Amino acid sequence: MARYDPDRIAALAAGSLDPAEAASLEAQLAADPRAAAELAAQRRALEAIRRAPAGLLSDAERTELRRAVAAALHLDAGPVTAAAPVSRRRVPWRPLAVAAAALAALVAAVPLFGLLSVGDDDAALTTVALAATTTAPADAFNTAPAEGGLQEFTAAIPEGDAPTLGGTAVTAGSVETRALDDAAKAVAGLLADPAALFLWEADGVLPCLEQARILLESPDPVGARIAREGGELVVWFLSADGSTVQRLVAFEPATCDFLAAYP
Amino acid sequence: MSTRADADAALIERYLRGDVDAFNELMRAHEDRVFAICLRMLRDREAALDATQETFITVFRKVDRFAGHSAFSTWLYRVAVNTCYDQARRRGRQAVEPLPEGIERADDHALEALEAAELRPDLEAALARLPAEFRSAVIICDAEGLPLQTAAEILGVPVGTVKSRVFRGRRLLAEALGNLRPVPDHLSDEHHG
């Protein structure tokens, strides 16, 4: 292992060597199990980092950031020189940060409830997201309102019940309600017997990963495609022990509409 | 310099002449990346927003002293990284730790259990376990995809040191993710000088 230059291994992993040099080095490393393991580790780490979603500012955060910086530089009072005195007022970011997370969850759930008609600005959507509650049958998976906003989007909505969202009654259409009901039944079945989740073998790229990462607050959930009445659904989940499900979200595969969540 | 760097230089000139639109354009061009770096460094959205705000205030306050020897973005990211170090230090986070002298071999049984686990630990948690110097190098080079030379300017260390930190940072990350049995590291962090 000591024969190999770590810089070249790192460059090979990053794909920054020219093809001939890369092929030659790869062949050399392949003959040395320890060096090959090092190269594999470098590649896996790099791939994990590159696959992780970058943090994005919400519109509200972006607006407040610019406003706060401009205020500290006195730009809100008109053009000034850079030598002007600077005072920094600490912005209470927490409400915006929480709202951004809730908004992300709402964006994933919006197609389900047709909420876009509630309003176009982020503030309205955020208010709705933070106030959202759903009504669920007692025998469904946990639907108790949870702290943090994300778990509030549990979706076991019985036919005829309308979720109350920020004081605005929203009635899901019968087709959507049936889809929710089917999904809820499928997910309840999976939770009772999760073997199918863990035994599922990937047959291609599974959709809705980005939405799942947001809702599960994890960059690396496990996915599966599961049959349900009248079609399929895509589920993404977290598990610590490889046999039980800690958290799960389910989507319509074609549209990535959010269908159900556990807990 | 690149088109972006040229555009930034022109915007800074306009800003220094009192053009508020130039301020908005500079913010628009860089705020997402600064925030992304801060979020990965600090792993806390509120703290990252605070660090992003502080970074831009610092940079705009001192922009008349920006000599233009490097790209504006390089200077901006350097301020961002240092702001994150400062903030983590102020908050007493684990983020700022001394560089390890070496990598100790972990318990073999624990390693086997880790290797047998079907699911890997959360990447962000694994990143958080890296010493701050390694994490910043990995974030700048691998997550943000900036060139080694730029990373060296941002971090204020030689290119060789950046390479070494990226290499070791990836290795530690792979270990944390359960992909590699820890091995004694014969490389020193500063082996490149």
Stretch 116-155 of chain A: residues touching chain B, C-beta under 8 Å: none
pLDDT computed for residue A170 by the predictor: 31
What whole-number percentage of chain A has pLDDT above 70?
59
Q: Is there a single domain that holds both residue B112 and residue B169?
A: yes
> What mean pLDDT comes out for the span A77-102?
59
Q: How far apart are CA B132 and CA B85, in angstroms?
A: 8
User: Using the beta-carbon criterion (under 8 Å), do B180 and A41 form an inter-chain contact?
Assistant: yes
Q: Judge if the upstream peptide bond of residue A263 is cis by omega within 30 degrees of 0.
A: yes
- With an 8 Å Cβ cutoff, is A91 touching chain B? yes
Q: Is there a single domain that holds both residue A69 and residue A187?
A: no
What whole-number percentage of chain A has pLDDT above 90?
11
From A148-152, A190-194, B10-14, B62-66, the region with the lowest mean pLDDT: A148-152
Q: Is there a single domain that holds both residue A118 and residue A238?
A: yes
- With an 8 Å Cβ cutoff, is B174 touching chain A? yes
Per-chain mean pLDDT for chain A? 67
Q: Is there a single domain that holds both residue A209 and residue A124?
A: yes
String of b and e for A121-147 (b: at least 16 CB within 10 Å)? ebeebbbbbbebebebeeebbebeeee
- Kindly state whether residue A157 falls inside one of the protein's structural domains: yes
Q: Is there a single domain that holds both residue A131 and residue A232?
A: yes
Q: How far apart are CA B78 and CA B72, in angstroms?
A: 10
Measured at the CA of B118, the angle between CA B114 and CA B123, to 5 degrees, comes to: 75
- With an 8 Å Cβ cutoff, is A14 touching chain B? yes
pLDDT digits (tens, 9 = 90+) for A38-52: 899 899 888 888 877
Q: ipTM more than 0.85?
A: no
pLDDT digits (tens, 9 = 90+) for A227-257: 877 778 889 888 888 888 888 888 888 877 7
Name the token pair of B161.
């040191």
Q: Is pLDDT larger for residue A146 or for residue A101?
A: A101
pLDDT band at B102 (very low <50, low <70, confident <90, very high): very low
Q: Is there a single domain that holds both residue A229 and residue A100?
A: yes
- Kindly state whether residue A1 falls inside one of the protein's structural domains: no
Stretch 137-166 of chain B: residues touching chain A, C-beta under 8 Å: 138, 142-143, 160, 163-164, 166
Least Cα distance to B139 among A170, A81, A50 occurs for A50
> What mean pLDDT comes out for the span B41-61?
92
Q: Is there a single domain that holds both residue A153 and residue A253?
A: yes
Stretch 214-233 of chain A: residues touching chain B, C-beta under 8 Å: 218-220, 222
- With an 8 Å Cβ cutoff, is B128 touching chain A? no
**Domain's final residue, options B39, B58, B91:** B91
Going by DSSP bridges, is the β-strand pair A168-169/A164-165 parallel, antiparallel, or unpaired?
A: antiparallel
- Kindly state whether residue A241 falls inside one of the protein's structural domains: yes
Q: Is pLDDT larger for residue A209 or for residue A132?
A: A209
For chain B, report the end-to-end CA distance as a whole number of angstroms: 27
Q: Is there a single domain that holds both residue A87 and residue A36?
A: no
- Kindly state whether residue B103 falls inside one of the protein's structural domains: no
Name the token pair of B173.
């990350």
Q: Is there a single domain that holds both residue A67 and residue A143?
A: no
**Number of CB pairs < 8 Å for A and B?**
160
The total domain count for chain A is: 3
Q: How far apart are CA B108 and CA B113, in angstroms?
A: 9
Q: How far apart are CA A109 and CA A97, in angstroms?
A: 19
- Kindly state whether residue B85 falls inside one of the protein's structural domains: yes
Closest chain A residue to the Cα of B38, Cα to Cα: A55
- Kindly state whether residue B97 falls inside one of the protein's structural domains: no
Q: Is there a single domain that holds both residue B82 and residue B32?
A: yes
User: Using the beta-carbon criterion (under 8 Å), do A80 and B18 form an inter-chain contact?
Assistant: yes
pTM > 0.90: no
pLDDT computed for residue B182 by the predictor: 52
pLDDT at residue B111 tops 50 = no
The total domain count for chain B is: 2
**Domain's final residue, options B24, B56, B91:** B91
User: Using the beta-carbon criterion (under 8 Å), do A93 and B50 form an inter-chain contact?
Assistant: yes
CATH number at residue B154: 1.10.10.10
Q: Is there a single domain that holds both residue B45 and residue B18?
A: yes
For B93, phi then psi, to 5°, come to: -75, 165
Q: Is there a single domain that holds both residue B72 and residue B151?
A: no
Q: A-chain residues within 8 Å CB-CB of B60?
A: 69, 73, 82
pLDDT at residue A212 tops 90 = no
Q: A-chain residues within 8 Å CB-CB of B13?
A: none
3-state secondary structure chain B: CCHHHHHHHHHHHHHHCCCHHHHHHHHHHHHHHHHHHHHHHHCCHHHHHHHHHHHHHHHHHHHHHCCCCCCHHHHHHHHHHHHHHHHHHHHCCCCCCCCCCCCCCCCHHHHHHHHHCCCCCCHHHHHHCCCHHHHHHHHHHHHCCCCHHHHHHHHCCCHHHHHHHHHHHHHHHHHHCCCCCCCCCCCCCCCCC
- Kindly state whether residue A148 falls inside one of the protein's structural domains: yes
Q: Is there a single domain that holds both residue A83 and residue A129?
A: no
Nearest Cβ partner for A41 among B64, B171, B186 = B171
Q: B-chain residues within 8 Å CB-CB of A81?
A: 16, 18, 64
User: Using the beta-carbon criterion (under 8 Å), do B52 and A65 form an inter-chain contact?
Assistant: yes
Q: Is there a single domain that holds both residue B23 and residue B62?
A: yes
What is the extent of the structural domain holding A123? 95-262
- Kindly state whether residue A80 falls inside one of the protein's structural domains: yes
pLDDT computed for residue A202 by the predictor: 72
- Kindly state whether residue B45 falls inside one of the protein's structural domains: yes
- Kindly state whether residue B98 falls inside one of the protein's structural domains: no
- Kindly state whether residue B185 falls inside one of the protein's structural domains: no
pLDDT digits (tens, 9 = 90+) for B152-188: 999 989 999 999 999 999 999 888 887 555 544 443 3
Residue B170: burial class (beta carbons within 10 Å; 0-12, 13-18, 19+): buried
According to DSSP, the residues that pair with A227 across neighbouring strands are A232
Q: Is there a single domain that holds both residue B87 and residue B117?
A: no
From A73-77, A95-99, B3-7, B166-170, the region with the lowest mean pLDDT: A95-99
Angle between helices A19-30 and A33-51 (to 10 degrees): 130
- Kindly state whether residue B57 falls inside one of the protein's structural domains: yes
Q: Is there a single domain that holds both residue B81 and residue B124?
A: no
What is the extent of the structural domain holding B30? 3-91
- Kindly state whether residue B182 falls inside one of the protein's structural domains: no
**Distant-in-sequence, close-in-space partners of A123: CB < 8 Å, separation ≥ 6:** A60
For chain A, report the end-to-end CA distance as a whole number of angstroms: 47
**Domain's final residue, options B41, B61, B91:** B91
According to DSSP, the residues that pair with A247 across neighbouring strands are A238
- With an 8 Å Cβ cutoff, is A71 touching chain B? no
CATH number at residue B13: 1.10.1740.10
Q: Is there a single domain that holds both residue A72 and residue A124?
A: no
